[in-house]
Amino acid sequence: MNHEFARELLWREYPTDQRGSYFRQFWDVSTYVDREQRDPKTLAEYLKDIPPLHQWLVTSALGSHNQREAQGEQSRVVLIIRGNLLKRYPNTFIYAQKAIWGQGPRANRLTLSDETGELFASQPRSLALRFPIYKARVAPDIYFIGFDLTLDEARGDPRLDETAAARAVVGDNLGWFFVLQEAVGEPRFGLDTDAPIEPSAEKWDNLAWADIDLGSGQAVDVGKPFLAEPAGVDPTGAQWGSNAADMAYILYQEPVMIAVHGRNMLKNLKPAA
């Protein structure tokens, strides 16, 4: 791109020595969170994908000019997502969170902390979370999200498994979860597609389309009884079909968060030859 743009400028008689680097940023870095509080000029240079062209050695191979590697960084993990998820929910939060051991019955299971304060009390926030350092999209449905993590960091200790024996030997190298979290400020209303396998204690969280009588068409007749009463109790006193406020409460869909550990994503990756 730089070479061809320089040729175009020269052809149009623009005064140039053809050494300009007109394109140095290819990944989108708008979501990068700077934890080192660098000044804007320093940060902008740090995030460039390639160094200025006039600094390239004539003996260097094309494709060997990754500025991040030149800065001493190892190759970083890029999460690839393909599908309609981010088209349907474009404001999904995507980040990585350090794994910890669970508590109680889940003591030998890797998990995320339910209590944010508990997680950050043992390690600084900047060490517990990783936000994307760059991203890109190939239309219509392929997304690339780069993280400040290596493959080994994402996987964790090679001896890692969810057993008491592993807990005793792997120390704190527990790998990272990659998290997709629905935006809290974008509420959805509706019913679950299927009845839950593990019902919630509150019955309105268990309400599904399978419980609704749609015999009269696609419209929901709130005056009809449920085909099957949802399990659980209703501590709020909300009543089906009573008023708009109760219906909004009943139909509100809790934001969804999915977390997948790096070792599960990378378990079939073969070492480079």
Domain chopping of the chain, boundaries: 27-186, 188-253
For 116-151, how does the pLDDT look when each residue is reduced to its tens digit (9 = 90+)? 444 444 444 456 888 898 899 998 899 999 998 988
Q: What is the pLDDT of residue 127?
A: 66
**pLDDT average, residue stretch 240-255:** 92
Spatial CA neighbour of 234 closest among 215, 249, 255: 249
Q: How far apart are CA 106 and CA 88, in angstroms?
A: 33
Is the model's pLDDT at 241 over the cut of 70?
A: yes
221 Cβ neighbours under 8 A, 6+ residues apart:
213
**Distinct helix (H) and strand (E) counts, the chain:** 10, 11
C-alpha distances (whole Å) from 133 to each of 42, 78, 226, 273 are 15, 10, 49, 28
| CA within 13 Å, CB half, 184 | 0
Reported as a pLDDT band with limits 50, 70 and 90, residue 76 is confident
R_g of the chain computed on alpha carbons: 26
CB 100 within 8 A of CB 113: yes
Q: What is the pLDDT of residue 115?
A: 44
Reported as a pLDDT band with limits 50, 70 and 90, residue 219 is confident
Q: What is the DSSP letter of 99?
A: -
CB 232 within 8 A of CB 200: yes
Positions of E strands within the chain: 78-82, 93-98, 100-101, 110-111, 129-130, 134-138, 142-146, 176-181, 188-189, 252-253, 257-261
C-alpha distances (whole Å) from 37 to each of 32, 48, 97, 132 are 12, 17, 21, 16
Reported as a pLDDT band with limits 50, 70 and 90, residue 96 is very high
Q: What is the pLDDT of residue 72?
A: 58
**pLDDT average, residue stretch 175-196:** 89
C-alpha distances (whole Å) from 250 to each of 167, 179, 188, 203 are 42, 27, 11, 9
Q: How far apart are CA 186 and CA 227, in angstroms?
A: 30
Q: What is the pLDDT of residue 63?
A: 84
